[in-house]
Amino acid sequence: MEILAFGVQSDEKPLIEKAFAGHHDVRCLDVFLNEDTAPIAAGYEIISTSVNATLNNRVLQTLAAGGTQMIAQRSTGFNNIDLEVAERLGLTVSRVSYYSPYSVAEFAWALVMAVNRRIVRASIRTRDFDFRLDGLMGRDMRGRTVGVLGTGKIGEAFTRIAHGFGMNLLGWDVAENPECVALGMKYVDKEQLFAEADLISLHVPLLPSTEHIVDAAALRTMKDDAILINSSRGGLVDTKALVAELREGRFTGVGLDVYEAEAGLFFLDKSLDVVEDDTLARLVTFPNVLVTSHQAYYTVDAVGQIIEATVKNVLDYQAGRRSENVLVPAVS
């Protein structure tokens, strides 16, 4: 059988083909699944999609009408999938519930240190043979306070690194993680976390209850010299409100690997297009802001595990085996 994989980066293609070898052929497309590209899936029983795929009602209807029965999403997050519609249409949808949380946690720390120590600006300067230090002053992490929103797998890995730096640990989550408590984390309400933390890092999933958890009010509560990092989902931050605060000259640094309107932009080369997103255009002009395009997970280890799990999800589906990676049909 041939499987159709959408949104495959060139680095990933040989890994996907190798992982499926001996099981199935794979047709890898670099385009993302959306309303325009969904008709390509006609005739494919099994497709695989990437994190920025659009799996709304219309796309799912098109897929089902074309004969698709199984969607193997190659990510942990699944806020891009209308699971109710998928279930109603009788589709099987899987995701990858576990892969290296260190990939994302370590990248979040790369953002922290890059904005804190002005690494990008320093590199641009030295390439231009400008060796001045003005404006490049950072701050020690040791002894400062980190606030981690969401202390699951990635939040815990991020916290371990913060512990290594010798930071005071504050956490906010619906459930306390005993591993984080053992490291000395104190769980507080999010208002206290926003007010007291020198560094705030977001690791909660995007849900209706967490959408714009960092809104105008939360941003105003934060210290003027705080560092804010979002490597979870763009919708957690009200970006327009963030831009308004940055215009006031606030924050030591902001590192964003995700952006609420990233679909249709991130993972694509838009360098020759007219920029239509004024918020993003303004955001990248601030000297204390660093934006990357959803690459925190992109290590050879994490991508390898994602692909391995995706192959297993497909084989489980074909053998009628249930696994924790199946999102629908829900277990009754």
Ligand X SMILES: NC(=O)c1ccc[n+]([C@@H]2O[C@H](COP(=O)([O-])OP(=O)(O)OC[C@H]3O[C@@H](n4cnc5c(N)ncnc54)[C@H](O)[C@@H]3O)[C@@H](O)[C@H]2O)c1
Binding test (CB under 6 A) with ligand X, winner from 10, 127, 131, 175: 175
Q: Are strands 92-94 and 326-328 parallel, antiparallel or unpaired?
A: antiparallel
Q: How far is CA 18 from CA 8, 194, 304, in A?
A: 14, 45, 11
Task: Name the residue with the smallest CB distance to ligand X.
Answer: 152
Q: Per the residue annotation, which of 233, 245, 250, 260 is the catalytic one?
A: 233
End-to-end CA distance of the chain: 30
Nearest of 25, 4, 3, 9 to residue 303 by alpha carbon: 9
Q: How far is CA 38 from CA 66, 67, 94, in A?
A: 9, 12, 18
Q: Give strand pairing partners of 201.
A: 148, 229
Binding test (CB under 6 A) with ligand X, winner from 34, 80, 210, 252: 210
Q: Is 245 a catalytic site residue?
A: no
174 binds ligand X (CB under 6 A): yes
Size of residue set near ligand X by CB under 6 A: 28
Question: From CA 25, how far away is CA 29, in angstroms rounded?
Answer: 13
Binding test (CB under 6 A) with ligand X, winner from 203, 226, 289, 325: 203
Q: Is 24 a catalytic site residue?
A: no
296 binds ligand X (CB under 6 A): yes
The contact pattern for ligand X, residues 97-136, with x = CB under 6 A and - = no contact, is ----x--x--------------------------------
Q: Is 142 a catalytic site residue?
A: no
Question: From CA 177, how far away is CA 58, in angstroms rounded?
Answer: 39
DSSP label of 237? B
Give me the least distance between CB of 180 and ligand X, in Å please: 9
Q: Which residues bind ligand X (CB under 6 A)?
A: 76-77, 101, 104, 150-155, 173-175, 203-207, 209-210, 231-233, 257-258, 294, 296-297
Supply the residues annotated as catalytic. Answer: 233, 262, 294
